Structure 1
């Protein structure tokens, strides 16, 4: 999730567990330590596919962070052996501050390699948007109040309550994802479509309205919208994955890595003699966050793999955001999915 959320989560944990001894400094220490795993963004890679797929890698591994918590505990106890808290309590605090960062990241759809170096598909539990005020604001208010009044017993209780609420919110969000996927699966089956894969992800800034992706065995995917407050069936749009185009990338290592990282939620388009590979998981219909040119067609009419570079994505507007927010409470006005989807195939977006 965003850095502010990670910082207030770490501050809340350390303030609740060590605030009695460390006072306001616990909030500072926890906030800084909680952002440490994202230092991997400072590592530069030769292409955007590598940049994307190596992010949230080794620095987000529970194995690496657990070892780091042990080392930090040993160093702190050696430096301050008379500190008024036990080594166990210190280790638990540091471990929770560090490990909850990638665990929280795993609740988004991006993909987090929690168990690096094991070659597992990155964890992508897809229960909250990357910025969710309903998760962040209660924690931030509790941390700010504690900064003002100090780590008093009441303040630590407030921090604990905010942490419990935020954790419960994640649980409810998972239920929302399963509910959205179930509704879309049932609707597809009623239409005679047997989905081979489903993935729901929350629309921006809420967990009441969900975007649901589905695949069938005919090379299509479905953009669907389902809300907790809907009165009717989910709206959906069928679109092609264009899988035959992907054959040009057979055996290309970066393409294989991208398939692994996204769990194969990829679409392929031939645009302006460029083979554009789209990560379908992030964005909305037609407005996808990650799109890469991975091959170009030369004068010989044959596709040649190239070092990947970004294909500019159409950005959504405030008007679209207003429509999505209104759609939460009024399912009678469907989103213009077909109009939005058309932007994904407009060659005028091309550019290196």
Structure 2
């Protein structure tokens, strides 16, 4: 989820913690738990700092080990331990419980969006992304905002207010999961060009009645469209190409990082004078006829990489980088 939503969950858990007698009976404990739940709701995304070491590492590792099973306990121990040092009278068990809930809730909500996490590492290194909840969901953020207003005004005590909020959100997540399952199940029948072997992915938008649709054809190409109130419309297609250079590009660090994350990769090769550009896009992330999450490698006439980039970027900015890339720039400097 986006940072604001994680913050909302952190403060919401602080309100929910008032069901715990240790929190409800002591203002110092309540303050410590609030700090812990807010910190715990943000901690797994601390790996965003990897970006300063380059896009290749960032794409490969963001939402990876920091969201894994061992990390749940590491973040909890670090945050609860620091809070125990600052608030020595607060029960350690109370801190551990609520910080752990905040960390796990962060990871759990991330699984429901399109980007996903390696939440079950080291059991599996697979990226788990269920494509059910948009990364920014107005209902989730809005329901928290209403609850916070009622809490601040003293209209409803937190021990009654926040269990109701999270019961509502549990129902909401269940409903969205069902709607997503129903949407994907309906796609073959709605698609007149459907063939055996085609695979569909429904991707959420901020509009409940609209899904972005990706169909992977049995040949490996992609069709992109929308499902709007039960009507399917195809709007674009992306043809995946093969060549010796495309295959060789898989070993480039930028492409390898991209492929370690992308579940819908599609490559194309483009000749530009004496240069050849190999571009890999993730077909899930189309925006205004562009595919902003990609890996690109520019090769010279000797098939040597002279420029590369991996990450999120607009077509205009990428084009400026490709045109302005120095003819002998080092691949390791690309995307920094």
Q: 1:123 is paired with a residue of what secondary structure?
A: coil
1:289 aligns with 2:292: yes
Q: 2:241 aligns with which of 240, 243, 267?
A: 243
Tell me the CA shift for residue 249 of structure 1: 1.9
2:190 to 183, 187, 204: 187
The corresponding residue for 1:103 is 108
How far apart, in 2, do the equivalents of 1:254 and 1:135 lie? 35
CA separation in 1, counterparts of 2:217 and 2:270? 21
**205-214 vs 20-29, which moves further:** 20-29
1:43-192 equivalences in 2 (<5 Å): 43-44=50-51, 46-70=53-77, 72-73=79-80, 82-83=89-90, 87=93, 89-149=94-154, 154-188=157-191, 190-192=192-194
**Cα distance change, pair 92–27 in 1 and its aligned pair in 2 (3 A):** closer
Question: Structure 2 stretches of 5 or more lacking a match?
Answer: 325-336
* Paired residue secondary structure (1:121): coil
Number of matched residues? Answer: 311
What do residues 57-114 of structure 1 show as CA deviations (whole Å, max 9, x unaligned)? 222123211243256556656776754x682x44331211111111111111112111
Residue 328 of structure 2 corresponds to none
CA shift in 2, pair 1:206/1:70, >3 Å: same
Change (3 A) 1:65 1:49: same
Q: What secondary structure does 1:235 align onto?
A: strand
Cα RMSD (Å): 3.2
Q: Which residue does 1:9 correspond to in 2?
A: 9
1:13: how far off?
Answer: 1.4
State the Cα distance separating 1:185 from its structure 2 match.
Answer: 2.5
1:297 positional shift: 3.2
Q: 242-251 or 132-141, which moves further after superposition?
A: 242-251
SS at match of 1:236: strand
**SS of aligned partner of 1:56:** coil
- Work out whether residues 139 and 163 of structure 1, in 8 Å CA contact, stay in contact via their aligned partners in 2: no
Alignment of 1:305-324 (within 5 A): 306-309=307-310, 312-314=313-315
Structure 1 residues 74 and 311 mapped into 2: Cα distance closer, same or farther (>3 Å)? closer
Q: Distance in 2 between matches of 1:202 and 1:195?
A: 23
Instruction: Report the Cα offset of residue 34 of structure 1.
Output: 1.2
Structure 1 contact 202–208 (Cα < 8 Å) conserved: no
For 2:54 and 2:48, locate their aligned partners in 1 and report how far apart those are by CA, in whole Å: 13
Shift of 1:137: 0.9
TM-score normalised by L of structure 2: 0.79
Distance in 1, matches of 2:172 and 2:323, equals 41
Change (3 A) 1:280 1:47: farther
* Distance of 1:3 and 1:52 partners within structure 2: 18
2:224 corresponds in structure 1 to: 223
Distance 1:287 1:238, change over 3 A: closer
Q: Is the 8 A contact 1:134 1:206 kept in 2?
A: no
CA distance, structure 2, for counterparts of residue 144 and residue 22 of structure 1: 22
Determine if contact 1:66/1:99 at 8 Å carries over to the other structure: no
Equivalent in 24, 33, 38 of residue 20 of structure 1: 24
Partners of 1:109 and 1:126 within 8 A in 2:
yes
Distance 1:267 1:160, change over 3 A: farther
Q: Distance in 2 between matches of 1:184 and 1:64?
A: 38
How far apart, in 1, do the equivalents of 2:183 and 2:15 lie? 36
Q: Deviations over 1:242-296 (max 9, x none)?
A: 2314324244454344223122433435274321211222234623231221x22
Aligned to 2:263: 263
